[in-house]
Structure formats: structure tokens, C-alpha cells
Structure 1
Amino acid sequence: MQALPLAVMAFLLYLAAASWQGLTLARRVPPRAGLVRSFGALGLLCHLPLAVGLLGRGETLLPGLTTSAVLISGLAVLVLLGVSLFKPVLNVAAGLLPLAGVILLLAVEWPSPEKGAGMTPGIALHALSSALAFALLAIAAVQAVLLGVQNQALRHHHIRGVVQSLPPLTTMERLLFELIWAGMALLTLSIVSGFAFVDDMFAQHLAHKTILSLAAWVIFAILLVSHYWLGWRGMRAVRWTLGGYLVLLLAYFGSKFVIEVLLARP
């Protein structure tokens, strides 16, 4: 099957899952976790062939903008569906799944960089750990948005609607920091493997990506340490999480967009 029909099918399935979960949050329909996971999993089955096809082209050093976006969004959906079996994080699907679908639709027409000899095992480890770290921290960012909505609603004594559908505030905060810890472990592996296996960051135009990734690591590290020692939580935790993720977003996609699109450099 061609890329566009698969992308459209995945988008519609993701949209169906996200719509039901969004209506559940709004208390318009009863919770149906199995239904949301089923539609999400079917969308992922359409998503994965596109990601595998892009990876199979063997890009020069690291996955380009299109491949990275498709791979990371697919991994984020996979991680979310898996974690939701054990943790109450399925509400994140309302925001994450439509985004993954839109990325697929854009990717089928986006120009790909020139292809080369492919990735070495060390570079593959770096790319995979980077993608998993970004995917987990993407889920954490959406979780932070939900936590922020919940905090603001409770602060203004609004206890109906979305707030009633969310887990207790303490559970939401615990889930957020669990996601950040897991994402930080993978981000650390990504940075260490990058220093170990990337020969010349400046020649490969990766210096800015590394600097921004280190900056994001520092932001998340400060948040985790301050949460443990100083009790940071609530809106402060939300702001630091979103700030760290914004820096990571610039690290992963900002540089690729400039090099591959604005400068038209593979």
C-alpha cells in the first residue's frame, strides 16, 4: 500500500481514539480505555510501515527531519499505549494521537535528505535512545499540560468537567516525575552515546543539537533535584517541564529544519 493511504488511515484511527478520550475528559461519554487503545493500536499498525520504510532508506548519519518526526511520533504512541496498561496516562492520548497523525500526513509529502551508507550500530543506539527519550518526554509534556489545567481549576475551585475525569492531583504529579525520570535516563544514554560514537560533531552539524540537548538535560536535572530536596511541584513543575521540553524540541527538530529545509542541506 502507498504511503498516503496508510497515513490517512492512521490519522483517522488516531483521531477516533483521541476524540473518544477527549469526550471522556469532558464527561460526554463513558470511559472506554480498551476502545481508545484498540483504535490507537490500529493507527500504529498503519504508522509503523511508514517509519520502517523511511529508516530502510539508509540516511547519511542520523535520521533526517521527516524520518525523525515519523519515528519519534510512532514511538511516543507505542510507549503511551504500553504505559497506559499499568499507569493512568491514557488521557495524554487526547493530545498526542492527533499530533502523531498530522505528522504522518505532512511527512508523506515532505522532501527527504539524500541517502548515504546508513548508520553504524553505535549511531543506531544513539538515534534510538534519542528517539525514545524525546517520545517519553513528549508524553511528560502533555501530562504537564493536563496537570497545569488541573492545578488552575482546583485553585479557582472549579471541580467539574475535565478535573473530575483526571486522576487525583498527587497521582498526576507522581506520574509526571516518573515519566521525567525515565526520559532523563534515556536522554543521558543518548548524550553519552553521542559523545562516544559521533566522530566530529562540528563536521556533522551536530554541535548545536548537543548543546541544546545538554541544556535540556540540565533543566530536567534541576527540576528533579529541586523536587526531591526543595519540594518543587504544581505549576512550577509544569513550567520547568514545558521549558525543558521546548529546549529539547529545538535540539531535535530546530537544527534539522534549518539545515534540511531553510538551507536545503542534507
Structure 2
Amino acid sequence: MELHFWSATGMYAMASAWVIFHQLRGHRSETVAVWWLVLAGWVMQGVPMIRELIGSGGQVGMNLALSLEWSSWVMGLLYLAGWRLLGREARLAGVLLLPLMVLTLGGALFLSTAAPEARGVTGPLLIGHLVLSLLAYGLFTIAAIFALMDAFQEHALKSKHLGALFEMLPPLNALESTLFLMVRMGFLLLTTSMVTGALHAHEQKGVYFVFSHKVVFTWATWLVFGVLLVGRHYQGWRGRRAVRFTLWGYGLLVLAFLGVKFVKEFIILNH
């Protein structure tokens, strides 16, 4: 299985290098070869994961390493779909998203050697919660990338230090529109995942809210993005405020989705 993941990592790395080189040379449109490279890596990565899922009878094992594997795969799916559906802004996200996918998958391979046995995830509610959470995480990751691009472009405009990196970015309004599209879609998926998580908790324990670090960080993420969307709708929030809220919310989501697992698996279990 590791051969598949190393091959996928290589494909993502080549696509990443191609995108960065292409953009720094001032090309406005992405070459379709990047899309095919990512697709090839995505298939190489996904085949053994899906085969293992089918072989286990639909039982998904989830620890930190597997969470990283699945999140990189979902980010690849979102990039492939966005490349075709959303145009240049979504394609440009590959400048940061593709290297992040390489690091994420590489981290999964590294941690898999020391990871504890994965906890099985079964049942439609829990699997639905997991799928929705992964999709929300992927969308918010892309939103965070656009927030960083937005911050860089606004800083360059104000400081009047324009250069090759500035020239390759789309107009500020287009960046912000795509950023808030990702936030709205991610917020909807996160809300739905929280509802399915609450229903699963009630099914298993008779309560809708189970107090845990993951739940607290998830609720904090939901509140931050909820406030951002309300501020955007009623006050027209944009610029630095939108960037700060997006990055705060994403940081809390990383803690909920990955940070809690890291503490449990590599700090608490080793003491």
C-alpha cells in the first residue's frame, strides 16, 4: 500500500512544482496537464483506501495518520472539481493547496509507523458525520488559502510593493467572492456534520451533547465562521477582518480535527 501513497505523493509534488513554475513565469491560465497529474495521484491514493474500506465491510478506521490520508484525498477531490467548475481562482489555490497535500500525505506516511491502532467507525450516522467533516475541513482549508492570498494582495496594494507574486493573483473582489463561497459551503457542511454527530451521540448515549475537547473546538469553529457570515451579510465585512476570522476559525478547526488526535495518540498515550 505504501507504494501507492508514495506514487500519489510524487504525482502531487510534480503537479505542485508545475503550478508554481507556471505561475511565476507569468502564465495566466493553468495547463490541463496539472489537472491530469492530480487526478492520477488522486486515483493512486484512493484505490487502496477504497479497497481497504470495502474489504472491512464499510468499517472506516480513523486515527491521526488515517485522518491525514483522508483529508489529503478530499482536498484533491475538491481541487479537481474546483478546477473544472470554478475557474481560475480555484485553480490558483493549487499554488498552496498542492504543496499542502504533499505535506499532509507525507505526514500521514510518517505517522503511520508510530500510530496506535485505528478506531473503527461504523454506522450510517457516524460515517455520514465523518464524510461531512472531511468535506468541511477541505473547504475551510481552501478558504484559509484564499484568506492568505487576500491578505498578501491587500498588503501589496497598500505598501505599493507589487511584484511577480502580486501579478499572478486574480482581482481582490474575485478572491473575496471565492473565499466567502468556500466559507458558506464549509459552514453548511460543518453544521450538518454537527447535527449528525449529535444524533449519533443521542443514539449511543442518550444525549445530544457530549463534552469533549473536540466538541468544544468544533463549536468554537462554528461560532467564529457563523459570526463572519453574519458580519458579511449585515455589515459587509471584508479585508483584514474577514481574513482574521477565517484564519481563527480554521485554526480552531485544525485543533478539533487533528490537534486533539495528536495529543491523545502521541502525548497522552506515551505518558
- TM-score in terms of structure 1 length: 0.89
Identical pairs, percent: 30
The amino acid across from 2:79 in the alignment is L
Q: Secondary structure at the match of 2:93?
A: helix
- Compute the displacement of 1:26 (Å): 2.0
- Compute the displacement of 1:100 (Å): 1.6
- Residue range with higher mean Cα deviation, 29-38 or 249-258: 29-38
- Residue range with higher mean Cα deviation, 182-191 or 144-153: 144-153
Change (3 A) 1:237 1:19: same
Change (3 A) 1:210 1:62: farther
In the alignment, structure 1 residue 188 sits paired with structure 2 residue 191: yes
Q: Which residue of 2 aligns with 1:102?
A: 103
- Residue range with higher mean Cα deviation, 183-192 or 151-160: 151-160
Task: Report if the CA contact (8 A) 2:61-2:120 is conserved.
Answer: no
In the alignment, structure 1 residue 71 sits paired with structure 2 residue 70: yes
- Compute the displacement of 1:179 (Å): 0.3
- Compute the displacement of 1:107 (Å): 2.1
Change (3 A) 1:201 1:238: farther
Using the alignment, how far apart are the partners of 2:105 and 2:267 within structure 1?
Answer: 21
Gaps of 5+ in 2: none
When the two chains are superposed, the root-mean-square deviation of aligned CA atoms in Å is 2.5
Gaps of 5+ in 1: none
Task: Report if the CA contact (8 A) 2:224-2:245 is conserved.
Answer: yes
Task: Report if the CA contact (8 A) 1:62-1:123 is conserved.
Answer: no
- Compute the displacement of 1:90 (Å): 1.1
In the alignment, structure 1 residue 222 sits paired with structure 2 residue 227: yes
In the alignment, structure 1 residue 238 sits paired with structure 2 residue 236: no
Using the alignment, how far apart are the partners of 1:113 and 1:53 within structure 2?
Answer: 21
Q: Which residue of 1 aligns with 2:81?
A: 82
In the alignment, structure 1 residue 129 sits paired with structure 2 residue 127: no
Using the alignment, how far apart are the partners of 2:60 and 2:43 within structure 1?
Answer: 27
- Compute the displacement of 1:120 (Å): 0.8
Query: CA deviation digits over 1:102-125, x for unaligned, max 9?
Result: 322332342343356641111101
Task: Report if the CA contact (8 A) 1:16-1:39 is conserved.
Answer: yes
Q: Which residue of 2 aligns with 1:119?
A: 122
The amino acid across from 1:18 in the alignment is S
Equivalenced residue count is 261
Using the alignment, how far apart are the partners of 1:229 and 1:62 within structure 2?
Answer: 42
- Compute the displacement of 1:162 (Å): 1.8
Q: Which residue of 2 aligns with 1:92?
A: 93
Using the alignment, how far apart are the partners of 1:77 and 1:86 within structure 2?
Answer: 14
Instruction: Choose between structure 1 and 2: higher helix proportion.
Output: 2
Q: Which of these residues, 238, 242, 253, is aligned with residue 248 of structure 1?
A: 253
- Residue range with higher mean Cα deviation, 113-122 or 144-153: 113-122
- Compute the displacement of 1:219 (Å): 0.3
Q: Which residue of 2 aligns with 1:145?
A: 148
Using the alignment, how far apart are the partners of 2:159 and 2:97 within structure 1?
Answer: 27
Change (3 A) 1:43 1:146: same
Query: CA deviation digits over 1:208-234, x for unaligned, max 9?
Result: 111110100000011111111112111
- Residue range with higher mean Cα deviation, 256-265 or 122-131: 256-265
Task: Report if the CA contact (8 A) 1:64-1:256 is conserved.
Answer: yes
Q: Secondary structure at the match of 2:85?
A: coil
Change (3 A) 1:159 1:117: closer
Q: Which of these residues, 25, 29, 33, is aligned with residue 27 of structure 1?
A: 25
Q: Secondary structure at the match of 2:62?
A: coil
- Residue range with higher mean Cα deviation, 60-69 or 119-128: 60-69
Q: Which of these residues, 158, 162, 175, is aligned with residue 161 of structure 2?
A: 158
Task: Report if the CA contact (8 A) 2:61-2:118 is conserved.
Answer: no
Using the alignment, how far apart are the partners of 1:145 and 1:163 within structure 2?
Answer: 12
Change (3 A) 1:239 1:117: closer
In the alignment, structure 1 residue 211 sits paired with structure 2 residue 209: no
Task: Report if the CA contact (8 A) 2:121-2:127 is conserved.
Answer: no
Using the alignment, how far apart are the partners of 2:163 and 2:104 within structure 1?
Answer: 33
Using the alignment, how far apart are the partners of 1:137 and 1:152 within structure 2?
Answer: 22
Using the alignment, how far apart are the partners of 1:206 and 1:255 within structure 2?
Answer: 13
